[in-house]
Each structure stands twice: as C-alpha cells, then as structure tokens.
Structure 1
Amino acid sequence: MRKKTKKFLFRCQSPVISGPDDDNLAICDQCRHTFCKKCYETFHSQTMCPRDYLIEQMKLQEQKELQRLQQEKEAALAQLIKTKAHTKSWNEQKKNTTQRYHHIVIKLSEPNSLLQEILTTERINSDGIQFCPDSLNGHNIENGEKIFQYLIDYNKRREEEVFQNQLQTCSICTDIMPGLDCIRLHRCGHFYCRPCLNHYIRMTFDNGKFGENLHCPQDHCKQALLPTEIKQTLQNEELYEKYERLTLQHGLESMKDIVWCPRCQSPVISGPDDDNLAICDRCRYTFCKKCYETFHSQAMCPKDYLIEQMKLQKQKELERLQREKEVALAQLTKSKGHKKSSNEQNIATQRYRKIIIKLSEQNSLLQEILTAERINSQGIQYCPQCHIAIEKNGGCSHMHCTRCNFDFTWQTTQEPTTTIITPYLEDEDFTEVESIKEEFNKVAYLVETPLHEKAEQNEEISSDQAHEQEQEENDEDLKISIDNKSVIGSAILNRVTKCPNKSCKKINVKITQDNWIICSACMKQFCFLCRCGVKTPEHFGKKCLRTTPV
C-alpha cells in the first residue's frame, strides 16, 4: 500500500494527500494545482528537487572543509612530535652525562619570584654556558606561571594516584579499604568510604542542610563539600537534582532583590526599593512585591499602610503605659513617704532598746535575720510535730510532712507583709549581707569591752587558750552597739532578743511569728516578749500571746 500523508497547499490552503517518498508530485483536489511537495513550487520534472540539490552541495562543501582542517591538524601534530622528540633527546643526553639528582622545597607564595630569577640567570649566562636553544625560547613571566601551575597539577595527580593505590582507613567506620573505594574531599583533604559519606549526606539532607551548610563530617572542620563530590557520592540523579534545586532555591531566597511569583512560584528580579512593581518573566503576572497581590497603583501599599497603623497604635499604647507608669511611680513615692513618716512615728513612740554584739558575729547575725525575713516573705510554715520548715506551692490546705509523716492543715494567712529588710533580699547571699551591712554600719557605733567583763572573760578562759586570747584580744575588744532609734535598727531589734540565761546571753533571732524561743546556744526555752522562762504552753494563755507579727 502507498503511504499517504497530508500536505497543505499555499494557493488555497487545502490539505493534499501526497504519494510515496521518492515521488515529489502533489495534486490539489480542490484547485487542481500541481506542485512539488518539498519546495512547494510548481511541479518540475527534474529527478532531484532544486532544494535537495542545494542541500547536497552544502554538505559536499562542508566535507571538503573538514578534510582540509584534518590534514592541517595532522601536519601540525607531526611537527610538534618532531620538536618534542628533539628536545627530549637533548634533555636525556644532558641528564645521563652531567646532571646529579636533587630536589628543592619552596613556599607556595614564592613561585613567581623564583622562576623570574631562574629565567633572568639563564639569559645572562647564556653566552658562557651551553643551554638548549629551545628551552629559552619564549620564557617570560606568563610562561613561568603556566609552568608552575603545571607542576602543581602534576603533583596533585601524583598524590591522587598514590592515595588510590594504598590502603586507607575510613574516619567514620574505621574500616580498612583501598583508596580507590574512598572519596577524598578537595578543600580539606579528609577522606571517607563511599557508604559512610553517602549516609552522612542523606542524613544532612533530611536535617535541611545543603549547599555551603553541608560541611565535612570531621569535627571542627567547616569546609563545605563540592557539588561534584556530592554527585560522585550519591550516584542518584533524582536525589542530586533535588539537592541542586534546594540549593538554588536557598541561594535565591537569600538574595534581597529576588521575590517569588505568587502564581507560578518562579523567582522574579525586583526593581528599586521605592518601586513595588514586579513582573514575572514566566507567566507575565504583574504583582506587588510587598503584599503579593495584583499590582495596585496607590502610592502606599495596603500592607505598608496596615503596618504604619499598627506602629502608631503601638506607639500610643506605649505612651499610655508610660503615663500610667509615671502615675504609679508618683503614687509609690507618696506611699513610701507616708510609710516612712509612719515608721518614724512608730520609732518615736516605742520603748528604747539597744543590743551590743561582737564585731566577729555581725555577719552571722545579719544572715540569720535575712533568712528569717525570706521565710516570712515566702509564706513558709513549720510542721507542728517535728518543726521542719515547709513551703506550700499549690493545692489544698491538707499537708503531709515527709519527714515525720504527720498530717496537718495549712493555716491560711494574709499576704506576707513587707518590712524595711525585704528590699535587701536578692539572689546572692553575699550581696544581701553586704547591702544590709552597709546600712547597719551607718547607724551602729563601736564600743569597748568594760574592764570587769574582761576580767570575767579571762577567768573563764583556760590556760591552753591563753596564747590565742592574746592574739585575738584586739578583735574581741571590738563590739558594736545599735539601738531602735533608726529605721534599720528598729527592724533588726524587733527580730532579735538576748537569752535570759546570765551565763549565755546569746542573741537569738525570731524566725516566725511564734514567741516561744529556744536558745541556739544553751537550749533554754523562754518567751520573746517578756524573756521569762517557758516550760509549758500555759504561759502564753495567761500572760503573753503565743504568736505576734514581727
């Protein structure tokens, strides 16, 4: 059967069914026009169409030109081989007769200067020493750099050959294998076996790192892997295409002048910052590069307008908060002044008291006072049975002591009141003591130990401690006295009292609101208010209160 194809005639533009491939005749059934189906001209009776003839002539001319170039190339190669053979024979003859083997080591930063000196010396001494004429032809700085680069490339090739022919140990799996099965990184020189490096690259891809963020697996090595090394390791075209796509996308996203088309998600190069117009070269979509909506001709983008309104609203809110802060500070200053005046009035009406402590015991006493203040400020209560301090951080009022397994009810109290010592409670104990000590020293004054007390102390001290007493005599003589005529002094004296035992006289600190005090030195039990001895709780029911605020 004849193969039939459709042709379109340029006269009436009607389809025409053509005959076999070796027959160029085509006849239109509509207008009866006969034409050549190759050149679409009126049918010609030549065996070969003029268009085919022209194509054949161009092919013949191109073939002759290729033959001529091939002949010139062969002649140039023959001339080059002849020149190299002559140079090689002269160099081998010189090497075998006069030269002794030696080598040098130069710095990588000194190739140009060294080659320039060598070439200059050859030109100067060329009249007295026999050199190969071909070795001095065309020697200059440019050729010297080419020679040095050739030496570097040759050295790298030789190192790679030696590396591949020896056994290597992978730094990840520590397996020993031929260097041919390992991949050595170009930038840092570290090498790994292909499976380990392949697993590392895939795992790094899963963590979202690619491009310059894909570093060498070696610890503290920040050199990135080359794309050719990644492709050689993966040997997966689909995964490598994904790597290239993500790397390109990451690079485009890091460019400030690139925006993404909201319609086809193609990168678009944006114009100046004051021009919001962006036109996608792929889908020809015009959009605003700030709000990514269809381009609008307003001077300000609606997104920028919204941002400006939010900034103005935020600024007004900050101004309102600033005004409220100023009002609160003024109110606080006023309340502090009122509180200070009330404290001064309380100080004027209270009974005069003072205590005398040793200078060496100052820090420990202040630390106990701060600890008691912290316990009261944090709402700590004591177990009724074992008297261990317990802090409640939530839940109901039913409490269980983990030390003695005693169940009791948490006493609901008001919010902890602040005193003059509360502001000195900070994170570091050293800072707390030093800060309150500074205020303490402003109102305290030094006193000397009376002579009769010194005599009593000397009688009580044994002979073994006489030598130490002499060395510390000056320190023991220094004592500090403080009264309740100052704010800080009143706050301290409201928490401390002296043990009623004449042989002890230890200053004890009231920790909680409980007035039943046990001396930490002689273990004597007494009342904080009247300093009388206490043996049973009946004392607080008849004479004094069991609990009073500090």
Structure 2
Amino acid sequence: MESHCKIHVKEGNLMQLACPDTNCRNPLPPSVLKSLLRDDGYAQWESFALQKLLDAMPDLVYCPRCSAACLEVDNDAQCPGCFFTFCTLCKRRRHVGDTCITPEEKIRILKERQKLYSIPEEQLLKEKREIDELINIQEALRDSKQCPRCKMAISKIEGCNKMTCGNCGRFFCYRCNKAIGGYDHFWNGNCDMFEREQDENPQQQDDENFGGDPDEDAELLEPEWVLLTYPCPNCGRRNEKLGTNNHILCIGCRGHYCALCRKRVLRGEQHFGPRGCQQHTED
C-alpha cells in the first residue's frame, strides 16, 4: 500500500488512492495517507489535492500578472493580490461592452506586434510561450471536448457518448457537451448514444447485382444471425429475443424496447396490450 500510494502521488493520479477492496473503493482518509506517505509524500498529496480542488471550480481563474487565484464573475475577475481587473477570456484588462477577441485573433495580434515593434527579450519569450499555449489549446480542442464543469480537455477513442471526466468525475455527453446524470439523456431523442455511420449515397447501388426488391436484396446481403436479431433504437446494437417475447432489454445501453415497432418501452403493461403491440409472437 505504501508503494502503491507513493507511485500514484508521484504521477498525480489521486483517483487511484482508494481502498483496494473491490467492493469498497472509497477514497483513503488523510490519516491513512499520512501514515503511508510520510511527511514529504503527504505534503505533495496535499498540494495535488488542493490544485485538483481549485481546477474543479468553474469560477476560479488565475491572474495573468501574478498568477494568484481569482474568482470569476461574468467573464471578469479582480486579483486579490495585485488588484488587477481583467477579462477571463482574453486575460487582458477588463473591457465592458467590447467584444472579446478570439484565440485566432489574439495569435495574429501577438505575431504582428512582434514584427512591427522592438520588444524586450523577456516580454518576447513570454508572448511566444503564450502563442504556443494558445496553439496547443486549439489543437487539443480540435479532436476533444471540454468538461462542462472543470474545462478539462477530453478525447473519446471509442465507446458510447457518455463520458466521465477523469479530473472531477462529472458525467457529460460527448456529442452536445452538456452535463448529464445518466443514460436518460440518450433516450429522450436529444443525442445518439453511439455514433452511427451513415452512407452518404445510400441509393447508389449496383442494380445489376440485385433483383430490385429491397427486402430480398437485404436478405441476400445480411447473414442469418442478423435476420434473427433486432436493432436497439437508441444505440443500434442488435439483440435477440428471449423465445417469443417482443420485450427486449438491450445489452449495450440497458434500455427496453419493442421488437415489433422498435420503440422504447417504459412500462410493459402499457405498451403490450389490446391496443398496443403483441408481447409474444413467433419470428
């Protein structure tokens, strides 16, 4: 446990400092961490924990002059250390009523100023670092989304659009970038749980290889197991029926739907009945 905690503190991965019991996984209390990490490791953990707490605060920014922590109010902030009032978007002096510049415009202005004016070496290095930081942020956000709570940039490699921020633990939708609580967001028809690959030209098919009947052509193309499964209207995963029961539980998104009408089933007794779909039919 001592080696385990020291490694994760050294890497700054505080989420792994939890009880090793898989049925528990609660965060280790500070008293246990202090006995395992000793004074130096515990001080480093306190520093990381404080920084993680500050980074998770959406209304906390840092002063561009002295780097002190400031509270943001309507995209403006005043430093408690040097009393500098600045815009939290462009990090320049507060400009009420004026439109803030975009990162692209800021990069262009900084580069033009370096060409036109003789800037001291210290200021020049500072502006170059600022340009590199803006470019890196643009590249990071090109293929990623920011967490709606802590603004951490997160990229999706695979899987569904329900994302969990590794920094603050917030759930959000990767498609619309809104904070969500669970999978209900994807059942309301707002966003798809999985990205669906759509053919841009679905009608461009070789008619010479098919007989012209869409149903017959589909049977020729699809294997036998596909014809015996039913796609989920939410995530697109194909699931099998249990016997003759048309009430299907999707293995992928855990949603309930009807095999006959492909609609979501909230209550089986309401959907299946004299005025609805038949719950049991032969394939």
**TM-score, normalisation: structure 2:** 0.38
- Higher RCO, 1 vs 2 (CA within 8 Å, ≥6 residues apart): 2
**TM-score, normalisation: structure 1:** 0.21
Q: Greater helix share, 1 or 2? A: 1
